[in-house]
Amino acid sequence: MTNLKINKVMTVEELLMPRYKVIADYPHNPYKVGDLLEEFTNTAFKLTVTYNGNSMDETQANTYPASAIEKMPHLFRKLNWWEERTLDELMSVNYVRITIYTGYWRVGDVVNVTDYKIDTKNKKLEKYILDGTRQSIPERCEPATLEEYKADEIKRKTC
């Protein structure tokens, strides 16, 4: 069992919000290569700057609509929900939906996260411990809510 204190709890909606990483420079670029853009409205992005593993939010005056960002994959890379996340953010997940067949759960199953396997040297999440025994890497699942877990549990009992 992990004994790490979770400082930042994120909702499922926050974890699944589209995010982009600036991967190239361009004329009059208000961002730096490596900056993360997080959607906070339907039309603009919030800039998250990371210094030595600590995130600092800044609202960028010169923002782009999401539709424009998605049309520039040579400048911005869409991140998977688990990429460029802090340990605290990844450990705020209590339930996951399986997105890639694991050999035990089916795609779409919602499972309880009971613990975390942490690389303590690098302070990185290696795996989620699911239902007390099975393990899954974040790449094979996505955050889910308690309500989704309960609905899936009922579905499994009736099958």
Residue 117 and residue 137 in one domain: yes
For residue 64, give both structure tokens: 């782009």
Residue 103 and residue 47 in one domain: no
State CA 150 to chain mean position distance. Answer: 22
How crowded is the C-beta side of 128, counted as CA atoms within 13 Å?
A: 26
Q: Which domain covers residue 102, as residue numbers?
A: 87-158
Residue 150 and residue 91 in one domain: yes
List residues bridging with 118 in a β-sheet: 125
pTM of the model: 0.74
Nearest one of 53, 66, 154, 138 to 98, comparing CA atoms: 138
Residue 115 and residue 54 in one domain: no
**Could you tell me the maximum CA-CA distance found in the chain, to the nearest angstrom?**
58
How crowded is the C-beta side of 112, counted as CA atoms within 13 Å?
A: 7
From 78, 107, 128, the end of a domain falls on 78
From 21, 56, 78, the end of a domain falls on 78
Model confidence pLDDT, tens digit, residues 64-109:
667 778 888 999 999 999 999 888 889 999 999 999 987 888 899 9
Number of separate domains in the chain: 2
Model confidence pLDDT, tens digit, residues 99-138:
998 788 889 999 999 999 998 888 889 999 998 888 999 9
From 35, 54, 78, the end of a domain falls on 78
The residue type at 136: S
Q: How distant, in Å, are the alpha carbons of 48, 53, 63 from that of 56?
A: 6, 10, 17
* DSSP SS3 for 98: strand
